[in-house]
Amino acid sequence: MATKSATSEGRIGSLANPKSVPLTFQEDRRSVYWVDRLPPTAGPHGTTEIIASARVQELAKHRTPNQHGWRGDRPTPIWGVSEGAQRADAGPRLVSLSQHKEPHPRYLFDRTAYMTVNEGAKNATSTERLGMLCRPKDRRDRDKFGVISLETSWGQYNPVSPAAKSAQCTSHVESLAEPKKYHPRFAGEKPVQWSVDESALKAIANLRLQQLSRPRSRTMIKDDYDPYKVPMAARRAHATPRIEELCLPIPRKVRPKKVV
């Protein structure tokens, strides 16, 4: 028991000890104005000197060009030509490539403004058909509906042919040319002003007409009238055989019900 208690006291004692501070621990500054080191000063040349590592100095170097076959730009666009290049003779292939491109064999160049007319064209005579086609076409005014008017574009009227002047129409054309007659019971428009006859001025309304023209009295108005209420007579009414016949659907539109 004594050994066990001593062991427990040693464990509790080790846990009760405060945590040790690591060797690299830096205590917080007591104030933001605490200066633990002096700021960098100017070097001997009056400027701040920065000491770079070897790796930074290596990365700061410019990239070296390729050493295998790379040559820089020529110092000047004018350079001397060698004697061999001056006395060289071009081969057949180089001569063929140096020639300009030939046009198409069937290509026709622009014709000049000055040309000679051959004797055949000078002595040629036109045919009768060509002379008929060369005549100017009669110009006639057409309105937006495509109807040809009698007056031309120069204000001249087309003359009527003698055959049209002496033509006689048939009996059927004369019957069609007659205007359509009005219906026997047709009545024209009534004038805005007309005279009233003496009988209408002296007429006296009968008793039934006076009753219908009288306005409805307030005592006959029903406040509890419901226009949507169906009366009992309409409920008990029976349709006649004719109405039932008219209510039947058309036979060709009647389809039998499908039974599933």
Q: Can you give the pLDDT at residue 144?
A: 47
- How far is it, in rounded angstroms, from Cα 18 to Cα 102? 104
Return the HEC string of 47-77: CCCCCCCHHHHHHCCCCCCCCCCCCCCCCCC
Q: Can you give the pLDDT at residue 155?
A: 56
204, two tokens: 């006296």
Q: Can you give the pLDDT at residue 94?
A: 92
Unique residue bearing structure tokens 């042919």:
161
According to DSSP H, which parts of 87-151 are helical?
A: 92-98, 119-122, 128-133
Mean pLDDT for each 10-residue chunk of the chain (260 residues)?
61 87 77 64 74 88 80 82 90 92 90 87 91 75 50 62 89 92 90 90 92 77 78 92 91 77
Q: Can you give the pLDDT at residue 91?
A: 92
Cβ contacts of 171 within 8 Å, gap of 6 or more: none
pTM beyond 0.85: the answer is: no
Q: Can you give the pLDDT at residue 95?
A: 92
- Listed residue (229, 211, 208) closest to 220, CA to CA: 211
Q: Can you give the pLDDT at residue 69?
A: 76
